[in-house]
């Protein structure tokens, strides 16, 4: 093992989720290299994601249940301070974007390139694994991506949500000259709009219930925006979503409907409208997570011969592609960052994200100096 940058006197301050709604700063042991291919990274910047807040408030997402304390955070960048004896792609001092999920590499999913489906993934801040909101984080070297000199650490931390959007567009098989409707103009929604435009989409339409977010989306990557009307008292929700879809098709001249629908909210009315706005033979991708079960227009999906897919995390090629999109300025992530906090203010940062105010978009926490 080669290193001289972490000394015996170094400590590892960490922001720990001890139990539901119970967070605290702890001084944890410096994480050791578990494998000769591992590197230790001094964390520079970490973005807060809805899933971090979800574990803090509810202690579970699907099958992932908080049963012991974990360090929070998974959208991070940093500088390599220690490399294992078998590491060849990185050296001490390299600045990297960290891909937070390291799969087993051996199962059928991994071997097929669908490592986002691996059952044995070590994913930062997903129980029982520790996340990146600490001074140091240890990770497989091939899941760290060296960033160019002109890219800063905030941009590198934002590569994670960009990779989610890259995967969504990959799952949707977004191509040049397609019309694309994106439900949701939060961080993942607007990034999906930007990646779709970078992929050559002809027209990208953003749909959201917040005019402020739509205004941002229009200035960011969307060609058009749509604010759906509220359902009238006693109106059937499914009939209302059909009406909304019809309005979108007519207003933007989509004819039979959109080639691709990307659903980035998880909200039931958006799911219903999304199925109805897709053209026959079109593609619908579910990326937003809301209620676990919803009323779904399955007959419409069947009659229209839609391809319906779920998108989760990222797979082969997404991270390098995301680094490239950010580095070349095709996706300007700096504009998404609305609030910045010091490490010691991590709880305040989480409270801000939980409050879900309209003007708060992406919140980042600076690493321990």
* Digit-coded pLDDT (tens) for 355-367: 988 889 999 999 9
Q: Residue 129: what pLDDT? A: 96
319 part of a folded domain: no
Whose CA is closest to 279, among 181, 359, 193, 196?
Answer: 181
In this structure, the answer to whether residues 171 and 276 fall within a common structural domain is: yes
CB 302 within 8 A of CB 317: no
In this structure, the answer to whether residues 58 and 130 fall within a common structural domain is: yes
In this structure, the answer to whether residues 208 and 135 fall within a common structural domain is: no
Domain count, the chain: 2
pLDDT digits (tens, 9 = 90+) for 11-55: 999 999 999 999 999 999 999 999 999 999 999 999 999 889 999
236 part of a folded domain: yes
Which residue matches tokens 């919803």? Answer: 294
Whose CA is closest to 283, among 174, 192, 204, 165?
Answer: 174
Q: Residue 283: what pLDDT? A: 98
266 part of a folded domain: yes
In this structure, the answer to whether residues 209 and 243 fall within a common structural domain is: yes
In this structure, the answer to whether residues 219 and 340 fall within a common structural domain is: no
Q: Residue 172: what pLDDT? A: 98
54 part of a folded domain: yes
In this structure, the answer to whether residues 127 and 185 fall within a common structural domain is: no
CB 225 within 8 A of CB 241: no
61 part of a folded domain: yes
In this structure, the answer to whether residues 238 and 254 fall within a common structural domain is: yes
Distance CA 158, CA 15 (A): 20
In this structure, the answer to whether residues 233 and 258 fall within a common structural domain is: yes
Find the CATH number of the domain harbouring 200.
3.40.50.720
Residue range of the domain that includes 208: 163-310
The tokens of 355 are what?
A: 């409050």
In this structure, the answer to whether residues 169 and 152 fall within a common structural domain is: no
Please list the ranges in the chain whose pLDDT falls under 70.
1-9
136 part of a folded domain: yes
175 part of a folded domain: yes
Main-chain phi, psi angles of 272, to 5 degrees: -65, -45
In this structure, the answer to whether residues 259 and 352 fall within a common structural domain is: no
323 part of a folded domain: no
| Residues in the chain, total | 369
Find the CATH number of the domain harbouring 88.
3.90.180.10
In this structure, the answer to whether residues 303 and 337 fall within a common structural domain is: no
Q: Residue 1: what pLDDT? A: 46
In this structure, the answer to whether residues 269 and 183 fall within a common structural domain is: yes
């Amino acid at each position: 093992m080669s290193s001289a940058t972490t000394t015996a006197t170094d400590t590892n301050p960490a922001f720990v989720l001890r139990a539901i709604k119970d967070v605290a700063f702890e001084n944890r042991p410096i994480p050791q290299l578990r494998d000769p291919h591992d590197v230790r990274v001094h964390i520079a910047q970490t973005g807060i994601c809805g899933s971090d807040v979800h574990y803090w408030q509810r202690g579970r997402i699907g099958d992932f249940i908080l049963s012991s304390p974990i360090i929070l955070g998974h959208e991070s960048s940093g500088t390599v301070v220690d490399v294992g004896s078998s590491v060849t792609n990185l050296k001490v001092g390299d600045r990297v974007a960290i891909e937070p999920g390291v799969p087993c590499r051996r199962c059928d999913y991994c071997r097929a390139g669908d490592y986002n489906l691996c059952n044995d993934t070590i994913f930062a801040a997903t129980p029982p694994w520790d996340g990146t909101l600490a001074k140091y984080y240890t990770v497989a070297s091939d899941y760290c991506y060296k960033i160019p000199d002109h890219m800063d650490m905030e941009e590198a931390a934002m590569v994670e949500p960009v990779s989610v959007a890259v995967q969504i567009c990959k799952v949707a098989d977004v191509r040049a000259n397609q019309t694309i409707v994106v439900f949701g103009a939060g961080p993942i929604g607007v990034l999906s709009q930007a990646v779709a435009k970078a992929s050559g989409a002809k027209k990208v339409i953003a749909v959201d219930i917040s005019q402020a977010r739509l205004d941002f989306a229009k200035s960011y990557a969307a060609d058009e925006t749509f604010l759906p009307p509220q359902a009238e008292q006693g109106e059937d929700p499914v009939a209302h979503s059909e009406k909304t879809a019809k309005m979108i098709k007519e207003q933007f001249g989509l004819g039979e409907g959109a080639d691709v629908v990307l659903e980035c909210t998880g909200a039931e009315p958006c799911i219903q409208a999304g199925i109805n706005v897709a053209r026959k033979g079109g593609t619908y991708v579910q990326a937003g997570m809301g209620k676990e079960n919803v009323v779904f227009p399955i007959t419409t999906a069947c009659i229209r011969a839609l391809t319906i897919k779920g998108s989760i995390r990222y797979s082969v090629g997404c991270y390098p592609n995301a680094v490239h999109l950010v580095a070349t300025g095709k996706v300007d992530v700096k504009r998404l960052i609305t609030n910045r906090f010091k490490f010691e203010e991590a709880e305040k940062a989480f409270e801000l994200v939980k409050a879900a105010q309209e003007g708060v978009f992406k919140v980042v926490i600076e690493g321990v100096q």
